[in-house]
Amino acid sequence: MAFPAILTAKDSSKRLPLAVSTLGCPKWDWKTIVKNASENGYSALELRGVLNQMDLPKVPELSGTQLAGTLRELDSMGLKVSDLGASAQMHEPDPKKHAAYMDEARRFIDLAHAMKVPYVRVFPNQLVKGEEKAVTMARIEKGLKELGDYAKPAKVTVIVESHGEFTNKDLLAPLMNVSKNVAFLWDTHHTIVAGEKPEVTWATLGKYTRHVHLKDSVPDGKGGRRYVLTGTGAIPVKETVALLQKNGYKGYYCYEWEKRWHPEIEDPEIAFPHFAKTMAGYLGAAK
């Protein structure tokens, strides 16, 4: 069953700092995304594809003459865009593929500038098999520095997500030193599943954390994880929220419900309002 709408656009000033990723609603068109996010009390959208288009600068509503109208629509619905999610992987060793990823990231930075969006996400993402770790790290750091330098005049910050093999503080922390215009997107699920306690991640990376992903899961019995509704699984989401609140985190709490990659999980009509209602309880308890 779906939960009733929590807030309307008129109540936007009272909303909690909740964002929701469009990864969770791959079958919704733009107007459906905006309407549902606003009605369920979200303050922001994390853009990670619309329908079948993952290359955001090519989304009709985000390009050309439609962009100005889209920005007015978001404002009228009481919504901001927290960040743009690029697919760029900084570890990529193939020169042509690496160049394509860098081009993608730059195009996303240009779009973020046009939309006055503060962050563009990129992936670190892997330690290349058969290559010395130092070589891979140097490539990632070089790419991040170039993107950070490109993003600075656009007033955009590049945020690096804990993802792939980069799910612990020891691998992630060095990446925070390449540029003052590079910061951290903490996917709390990934670091926790990898075995690092939230307080350990925060102790090293908290000062760099600008955006946070939250989701819950249980072991699937096959060595992997199965995503479940927030608060019904084995991930200490409530405790992580309390940690963030206690330490003065000022960014959005973003629901990354990976429906696009896992079509078998609950539909957004159920998952989105459930997260908003559950998080209202968590954030209220943390005060």
Q: Where are the beta strands (DSSP E) in the chain?
A: 18-21, 44-47, 80-89, 119-123, 157-161, 182-187, 209-214, 216-219, 225-228, 253-255
Residue whose pair of structure tokens reads 């957004």 in the numeric block: 268
Distance between CA 230 and CA 37 in Å, rounded? 17
**What global pTM score does this model have?**
0.95
Mean pLDDT, the chain, whole residue set: 95
**Per-residue model confidence as pLDDT tens digits over 166-212:** 999 999 999 999 999 999 999 999 999 999 999 999 999 999 999 99
Task: Considering only the C-alpha atoms of the chain, give the largest distance between any 2 of them, rounded to a whole number of Å.
Answer: 56
Homologous superfamily assigned to 9-285: Divalent-metal-dependent TIM barrel enzymes (3.20.20.150)
Residue 4 confidence (pLDDT): 40
Which sequence spans correspond to the domains of the chain? 9-285
Per the structure block, which two tokens stand in for 95? 């020169």
Q: How confident is the model at residue 87 (pLDDT cuts 50, 70, 90)?
A: very high
Q: Which helix (H) or strand (E) holds 74?
A: helix 66-76
3-state helix, strand, coil in the chain (%, to 5): 45, 20, 35
